[in-house]
Chain A
């Protein structure tokens, strides 16, 4: 319990820092932020427009503390301003649609790559020197070495364009009616195949290698020796004794891995025009849609922090030694 409390405290502190970064970043630029931000187009806008942009960004001539106060109050009311590129939709509405898709794609890819990757790592470490251990991990590292977007484009080209097997953009066919009907669901699944496959291919090597490395050291532990001395079946030793313990360091690293996975997903979404948070972020940056950008950054950060926190809770379920304290 105390462990969870400490972690929660940490995440709240991290959140505070993220909020502060979000606030200070636009204000760190020398000169008038609005002019600089709008770049060349600022010349064409009149002073009232510039003023409105400043207000939309939360910038004003008021003292910094006051600005921060306004910023915070807006934040807690869930007011992130209005998006430029999706005008006049408020940022929060835009984000919420993106959240669903990112979460869907992310969760599916994660589950597949985590399970398959760890299994490969476990089996490979058990039969050391066998085919699975010698060839597969380097192969997976090779595949994972490709830049996310490169792999994405490769798959898109091969399966989408050339072979015309799978759709190459968006999350579903917009001619279909949204909702829990079969055609829609199938369409969603169909659109998910390529992006998810890319994501899985990228990260599976990491899981496999990580698990294999931990297994190598766990397999040398005394309780594994005793399990072997007991004459237990190999499968039981491999999973109940070795892998079960090897998972623990993996889970600890899971939180950090999430950040990397998210980065990959941003690129994949962009390539496939998959309307998730990552795609929106890039879209926003390129369209200089600052309110949306800030909002997305906050949303992504909060998402990662929440996910990390959930992983910590999961960890306490897995390791009985932490549960007690």
Chain B
């Protein structure tokens, strides 16, 4: 666990140098996001892919859709990751594919969270009929199965990036909306909000100044979750051939590989990179969320602190309250 040697606050006993090393938040927001080592690992993984995608022309120069040679060639000096059943360079496809895949993921994630926040906050704040209706709609979208609906939509709508982003947001906003609604409802009951209401502050100010800042954690966590969903779902759709197969995304890469029977021939290199990319990005994002939770959950923090004290005192862990004798 990351520890920071703290500067003793003014007035405390400088001779006191025992007990646990305490973590100090530097800047709250950044620390919450990246304080945990798990979150940092996740962040690095995601950034790697994001940067590779942004700098695709430098990392994998050339046109990913260009026919470069024989089909199903194993990795070689010419093609670092070999070629796929259509004779395209797998490495280029991987790097360039990241652009659209990540764009779709982050785009749909942002849209999902935007809708979820608006609907969730209105529903949670207003209560009454408005809440009943919105809540019903929320539960409706939660219960109607996502992928089948997506499949249905894809069958009827014109394939394209915008369509995918829209469909994903359409089917995926409800999950976070429910969480945000619950949080808004509980925050609304808190004293400082009641005070603001009573003193006649305008509703918008209450929402943006009082309620929203207290929900930043779940909104950020929700965003990350939504991005994961966006990437996974869009990849799945593309694999099934329901997205625009002319685009280069990780999902379509897999579609073409499967279509050309890559696995049957044994050309696993056409397959593994894009799938692995999706998995790693999703994993990295999940790690960030996991790490954020470790930092903000007071119980986990408490247990970690006690554990490090025990470890330093070389005492066994026990369920009962530990005894760590000190000088007094």
Answer yes or no: do A and B interact.
yes
B275 touching A304, Cβ below 8 Å: no
- Chain A residue at minimum C-beta to C-beta distance from B279: A146
CB distance from B259 to the nearest CB of A (A): 11
- Chain A residue at minimum C-beta to C-beta distance from B228: A145
- Chain A residue at minimum C-beta to C-beta distance from B241: A286
Q: Which of A129, A286, A301 contacts B317 (CB 8 A)?
A: A129
Answer yes or no: B13 CB below 8 A from chain A CBs: no
CB distance from A165 to the nearest CB of B (A): 16
Contacts of B142 in A (CB 8 A): 255-256, 259
B147 touching A149, Cβ below 8 Å: no
Q: Which of A154, A255, A282 contacts B143 (CB 8 A)?
A: A255
Answer yes or no: B156 CB below 8 A from chain A CBs: yes
Near B by CB (< 8 A), chain A positions 116-164 give 128-129, 137-138, 141-142, 145-150, 153-154, 156-157, 161
B275 touching A301, Cβ below 8 Å: no
B283 touching A220, Cβ below 8 Å: no
Answer yes or no: A10 CB below 8 A from chain B CBs: yes
Pick the most buried of B144, B175, B275, B286: most chain A CB atoms within 10 A of its CB. Answer: B144
Near A by CB (< 8 A), chain B positions 261-311 give 263-264, 266, 268, 271, 275, 278-280, 282-283, 286-287, 290, 293, 297, 299-300, 303-304, 307
Interface residue SS majority, chain A: helix
B155 touching A14, Cβ below 8 Å: no
| Chain-A contact segment, one of B60-68, B74-82, B103-111, B231-239 | B231-239
A304 touching B145, Cβ below 8 Å: yes
B239 touching A149, Cβ below 8 Å: yes
B239 touching A285, Cβ below 8 Å: no
Answer yes or no: A308 CB below 8 A from chain B CBs: yes
| Chain-B contact segment, one of A62-70, A76-84, A87-95, A263-271 | A263-271
| Known A25-B156, A141-B290, A216-B297: A147·B148 in contact at CB below 8 Å | no
Answer yes or no: B194 CB below 8 A from chain A CBs: no
A149 touching B140, Cβ below 8 Å: no
CB distance from A170 to the nearest CB of B (A): 16
Near A by CB (< 8 A), chain B positions 111-167 give 136, 139-140, 142-149, 151-156
Answer yes or no: A18 CB below 8 A from chain B CBs: yes
B278 touching A147, Cβ below 8 Å: yes
Contacts of A258 in B (CB 8 A): 145
A267 touching B240, Cβ below 8 Å: yes
Q: Which of B140, B152, B175, B263 contacts A297 (CB 8 A)?
A: B152
Answer yes or no: B242 CB below 8 A from chain A CBs: yes
In the complex, A26→B287 CA distance in Å?
A: 41
CB distance from B52 to the nearest CB of A (A): 18
Q: How many residues of A contact B (CB 8 A)?
A: 57
A293 touching B290, Cβ below 8 Å: no
Q: Which of B146, B154, B299 contacts A260 (CB 8 A)?
A: B146
Answer yes or no: B254 CB below 8 A from chain A CBs: yes
What sequence of 0s and 1s flags, for each residue 282-310 of chain A, a beta carbon within 8 Å of any chain B beta carbon?
10011000000100110011001100100
In the complex, A154→B266 CA distance in Å?
A: 12
In the complex, A14→B143 CA distance in Å?
A: 8
Q: Which of A17, A138, A217 contacts B38 (CB 8 A)?
A: A138
Q: Which of B147, B175, B228, B319 contacts A263 (CB 8 A)?
A: B147
A26 touching B241, Cβ below 8 Å: no
Contacts of B136 in A (CB 8 A): 10, 13
Answer yes or no: A262 CB below 8 A from chain B CBs: yes
Q: Which of B279, B293, B304 contacts A147 (CB 8 A)?
A: B279
B264 touching A14, Cβ below 8 Å: no
CB distance from A310 to the nearest CB of B (A): 13
A285 touching B290, Cβ below 8 Å: no
CB distance from A281 to the nearest CB of B (A): 6
Answer yes or no: A28 CB below 8 A from chain B CBs: yes
- Chain A residue at minimum C-beta to C-beta distance from B304: A129
Contacts of B254 in A (CB 8 A): 147, 149-150
Pick the most buried of A129, A255, A301: most chain B CB atoms within 10 A of its CB. Answer: A129
In the complex, A21→B152 CA distance in Å?
A: 10
Near A by CB (< 8 A), chain B positions 193-251 give 228, 232-233, 235-236, 239-242
- A interface residues, Cβ below 8 angstroms from B: 10-11, 13-14, 17-18, 21, 25-26, 28-29, 128-129, 137-138, 141-142, 145-150, 153-154, 156-157, 161, 209, 213, 216-217, 220, 228, 234, 255-256, 258-260, 262-263, 266-267, 270, 281-282, 285-286, 293, 296-297, 300-301, 304-305, 308
9 nearest CB pairs, A to B: A263-B147, A150-B275, A145-B282, A145-B283, A146-B279, A259-B145, A145-B279, A300-B148, A285-B155
A-B contact pairs, 24 of them (CB 8 A): A14-B140, A21-B152, A25-B153, A28-B156, A29-B156, A145-B279, A145-B283, A146-B275, A149-B236, A153-B258, A161-B264, A161-B266, A234-B319, A259-B142, A259-B145, A260-B146, A263-B146, A263-B233, A267-B239, A296-B148, A301-B144, A301-B148, A304-B145, A308-B143
- B interface residues, Cβ below 8 angstroms from A: 38, 136, 139-140, 142-149, 151-156, 175, 228, 232-233, 235-236, 239-242, 254, 258, 263-264, 266, 268, 271, 275, 278-280, 282-283, 286-287, 290, 293, 297, 299-300, 303-304, 307, 317, 319-320
Besides A14-B143, A256-B142, 20 more A-B contacts (Cβ < 8 Å) are A10-B136, A11-B143, A25-B156, A29-B156, A146-B278, A146-B282, A147-B239, A147-B279, A153-B258, A157-B263, A228-B319, A259-B144, A263-B146, A266-B151, A267-B240, A270-B240, A285-B242, A300-B145, A301-B148, A308-B143
